Amino acid sequence: MASNFLFFGILIAICSVVLASDPSPLQDFCVADPNGPVLVNGHACKDPKLVEANDFFLSGLHLPGNTSNPVGSRVTPANVVQIPGLNTLGISLVRIDYAPWGINPPHTHPRATEILTVIEGTLEVGFVTSNPELRLITKKLEKGDIFVFPVGLVHFQRNVGYSNAVAIAALSSQNPGVITIANSVFGSNPAIPNDLLAKSFQVDIKIIDWIQSKF
């Protein structure tokens, strides 16, 4: 009897895990219809009879992004917004350009794991594990090297060379989302109270005011 209860307990646990994952597509494709009247988790499907090759196509990823900005990098996305045919397929792509010593600042993707490949240049990359360990895992990458950033963890890249660098990254979501830590903490709208941030970072409130003025 006890073994039967154990068997059913394991079965229920397995079913719970399976049901908690995203469902597999039930048709060949579900091209996103951004003007669809139905609100769903993702995008409503375009009429399959109206689907065309351009729904699965994007041109221009070979073009370098403009890195003339304070962080010295530019992310060019290829997700469901740019390619409607990615809807429900659980994958997307980005090109990242880095000026010399440019950075892709610490950020997270709340809905995706990322696998990054260096196309040109040399990058220092890393991610930080969750509380309470908060361990920095970092590595220097050369052309052709690959690195993985687990879903939800804070991660970054920095060009440590004296020439431009380029990377291509794939993400396990049609819409991975991005939360840049500095922007979200110091540039939210409305702003997080400065006294709360001063206490969190253990600094004078004037320092928080100065940092918030940058965002």
Whether residue 189 is annotated as binding a ligand: the answer is no
Nearest-10 crossing angle of helices 194-201, 205-212: 110
The DSSP code sequence of the chain is -HHHHHHHHHHHHHHHHHHHSPPPPSSS---B-TT-SS--SS-PBPPGGG--GGGG----TTSPP---STTSEEEEEESTTT-GGGTTT--EEEEEEE-TT-EEEEEE-TT--EEEEEEES-EEEEEEPPTTT--EEEEEE-TT-EEEE-TT--EEEEE-SSS-EEEEEEESSSS---EEHHHHHHS-SSPPPHHHHHHHHTS-HHHHHHHHTT-
Q: Is 104 annotated as a binding residue?
A: yes
Distance between the two ends of the chain, CA-based, in angstroms? 63
- Is 62 annotated as contributing to ligand binding? no
Binding-site residue set for oxalate:
104, 109, 114
Binding-site residue set:
104, 107, 109, 114, 155
Binding-site residue set for Mn(2+):
107, 109, 114, 155
